[in-house]
Structure 1
Amino acid sequence: MEIAQPRDLERYLSLAKRRHGELCRQKRIFNARNRIIGGDTDAWDAQVHDQKIKEATEKARHETFAAEMRQNDKITCILEGRERRDRKSLCKAINDFQQTFQKPETRREFDLSDPLALRKDLPARQSDNDIRNTVSGMQKFMGEDLNFHERKKFQEEQNREWSLQQQRERESARAHQRCAEDLYFKTRLQFDETAKHLQNLESATRKAVCAAVKEFNRNQATESVERKTREKKQEQEDDLAEISNLLRGDLLSENPQQAASSFGPHRVVPDRWKGMTREQLEQIRLVQKQQIQEKLKQLSRGLRLGRKKYMEEVCTNQPTEGYFTQFNTGSR
């Protein structure tokens, strides 16, 4: 623990004093309500007094305006009441005038809106022959006549008569139908007997026709077999004759005489010519060999002449014995 010296205490006291003074100064300066240092209190008091006077003047002016507004409201209420009474009096006078001089009965179009028009008006028609019942009026239609009940009773009686008549007609039709059915049954029996008889006749006729057809078919088959046999035999004979003619003919035998032309022995018919004969071929080969030999002789003769001419032009000096002895005389 260190021991405080007098100088340290003085320094500490001085520092604490300055800090306390600074805090007091800050309180005096930064507090707007209590700050009086550096300010003019007289001016502030004058400003406060002027502000109070201004507020009092403004308040008096507002009170004056309010009194005027209340007075104006009273006057407005009085005028509105007077206007309401005048309007009411005017409406009453108008209603009295309308009830006295402008009654609904006096209007020109009153008949269009008369509530008692139906009571005052005549009915749509007073009878079926009313002259007002025109076509365009559409007041009378079929079944809407005034004597509907009498007409309905007459129609019922007429329907009853029609029903009785229909019953009588139905009974008569049934009787006629029974007679027709009996007649149809008798006619049907007669038709059945006739059909049976015709069927028997048809069966007998069919049997006879079948027998005739069988006999005819048998004859036709026999004739067909004989005809085919004859045709086959004739075809075989024709084939044998054709084969014999082909074998003996000039076409397959390739007879060279058939190509001989009538224009001379050196000409032939092209569509019949079968080629040259062996003698002609040998003669042609002999001529070809002779031509080849002559060609070879000409070629050999030409080669000899050409070689001789070349040697005469190129080889101008003849080699001697000394030319051949110069070879193979050294090691290199």
Structure 2
Amino acid sequence: MFVFTCLVRRHGNSLFAACSTCLVRSFKMLNFQLTTERDRREAALIDKRRALEEERKKRIFNPRQRLFGIDYETLQRQIEEKRHREAEEARIDRIFDEQRKKNDEVALALEKKEKQERMRLEQEVNYFRRCCQRPEDRREFDLNDPDRMKKAAPPRSADDDDQCGPSSAQKFEGEDLAGAERAKVQRDQVRAWLDQQMMEKEAADQERKAAEEAYREAIFARDQRALQLDQMEKDCRKRLEEACLRFNRALADERKMEEMTRLKREHEDCLAEMYNFMTSDLLTENPDVSQSNLGPNRRIGYLYKGMTEEEKKQVREYQLAQIEEAKKRKELEKRMDREFDDYINGTQRTISLMDREEARKQRELIKSLAEENRQLAVEQKKRKEFLENVVYKNTPAPEFYDQFNKSTR
């Protein structure tokens, strides 16, 4: 089998087609195995290469993947962003779960506390009803008393009862003569019941009085404590007011002394100012005091009493000289303005002439470019006709293009 495989690889399909029949007959005669483990491995390798070739064809013949490829960096970045987003969502979910657990614990604690408070209130209400709102303490208990008939007086207390007349149907001939004794026993029993009720009522009254006394003592103690706190607050406020009063008095005395000192100082300053003003150089009109230390011709404004005739004459001559100088300066400025206007006008005329010359050159350049473009269009048209009529006469058939892209090698 190995020799046969080598011959097939060396001589190709022609040798295989010629010798296959003879070899099969020989194998059948010698009872050889047609396929071995090595043949199966080679067949698996061939199938694998075929599958890889098909995958390669799909990848290469896909123009989008062949031209653009796969952006692995973008895919990796998207994967990282997705992982980061999922981790952030998981972290947020954990935070919400922890917060929900805390809220549930708080809610359970509050519910438990509410249940305990409700139970305590119900116990207090039941205790109050049991101790202070008993049925036997009600005003209409005698109407709803189940032992009312037992406690009530009998219709007839004796055989000679005046309340039982002929129509009362309470006294008959042949009655039991032990009725009086039985009535006495009944009265004793009723008396015992009444004594028991009185004792119970008295015990209830004593218990209620004790509770009221304890409540009054608690209220009295609270009132006494409130009075003590109020008295302490009043004493503290009183001491604070006294301290503020002493401080305010000290401040008032200090301000009064400061005011007296200020008035005294102002009075002394006024007297000194009046004396200085009366003996000043302004009222005495001393001309020497207006001389300034900054120069021989400088004067002090607030001590200056006016110019002399000589100084007035000098000032007038200086003013006339300034007027003449101003007239000359204005004439010079007018002459310079006229010259500048003449220069501006000449410059504008020169610029206008240059703009006209530039526009003329631009028009000539546009005309030459248009002529050149027209010639180029004619030449391009002639070249296109030459290519269509001479060069590209033989158009390829579809079979020419079908022979490409048949293999990846």
Return the TM-score normalized by structure 1.
0.29
**More helix by proportion, 1 or 2?**
2
Bigger relative contact order, structure 1 or 2 (CA pairs below 8 A, ≥6 apart): 2
TM-score, normalization by structure 2: 0.24
